[in-house]
Amino acid sequence: MTFHQPQKLKTIAELIGAKFVGSEDFEVLGTNEIHMVKAGEIVFVNHPKYYDKALNSAATIILIDKEVECPEGKALLVSDDPFRDFNKINTHFTRIYNFTEELHDAEIGEGTKIHASAVIGNNVKIGKNTLIFPNVVIGDRTVIGDNVVIQSNTVLGGDAFYYRKLNGNFDRLISVGNVVIENNVEIGNCCTIDRGVTDSTIIGEGSVLDNQIQIGHDTVIGKKCLIASQVGIAGCCIIGDEVTLWGQVGIASGNKIESGAVILGKTGVNRDLEKGTYIGMFAEDFKTYLKKEVKLRNLK
């Protein structure tokens, strides 16, 4: 999430009641998750296991639960609960409406048709010649390009599935990102595409999605991808251009798939994949898998 205007380190520290390490005028541009974070942004960390990863990331402000040595050129916000205070920062700078208020501020391009039963949130932008079918739900801050088709009962911009367990209950990391659907995308019935926690979930230009597909927060789908029914993609994945995902493929969080890859039906992806064709519970190379099957069947 990028702030509407740069903030000062002292201002953010006062907002959350945290101690800061660094110049009080240190510039803060926004917040982001560690997978996506850029210079000028805040990343949070609340476990020693991930201290080094956060401190050595692109983030220049680290919201942390222990005072540690601050890397050169960076700043710290020391908090007793970074998860809570990350939420506090994000919701201070981004209003969460959850369809409780209608600002009627959507920007809709010429030639776009939206069924009367569709529900559109606040600060939504929709391009030209786009077609929105019945019962589609479009969450706040969603951006949709030109010549897009979104079929019935699809939800764009729902909350990210991102929780921690606190005092025996689940505590949500509040999603202040959005969904971006680029030009010439087609999305089938009953798909769910979660908005980013602090950044954008993106469906690239010319991609086609079948029915009943789930795409997690902050995932980026490339251009001209083909995704079949019942695919599930977890958060923070990067899918290259012209990737094909056949039915019931499942992709674990944070994985990257190189452009041109083909993932056959029911394959599980738990690591980064180069261009190729894959099948099986652990995404084996297709030819290797077939050779193995032949050997197994020939055993006496």
| Residues 239, 258: Cα–Cα separation, whole Å | 7
Q: Which of 137, 166, 142, 139 is nearest to 154 (CA)?
A: 137
Which amino acid makes up residue 138? Answer: I
| Residues 184, 300: Cα–Cα separation, whole Å | 54
Are the C-beta atoms of 246 and 228 separated by less than 8 Å? yes
Are the C-beta atoms of 229 and 246 separated by less than 8 Å? no
Q: Which of 52, 84, 46 is nearest to 64 (CA)?
A: 46
The secondary element (H helix, E strand) that includes residue 294 is helix 286-297
Q: Looking at 35, 92, 115, 217, which residue is catalytic?
A: 217
217 catalytic per annotation: yes
Helix (H, G, I), strand (E, B) or coil at 92: helix
Please compute Rg for the chain using Cα positions: 21
Compute φ and ψ for 70, nearest 5 degrees. Answer: -90, 125
**Residue matched to tokens 């205070």:** 85
Q: Catalytic residue positions?
A: 217
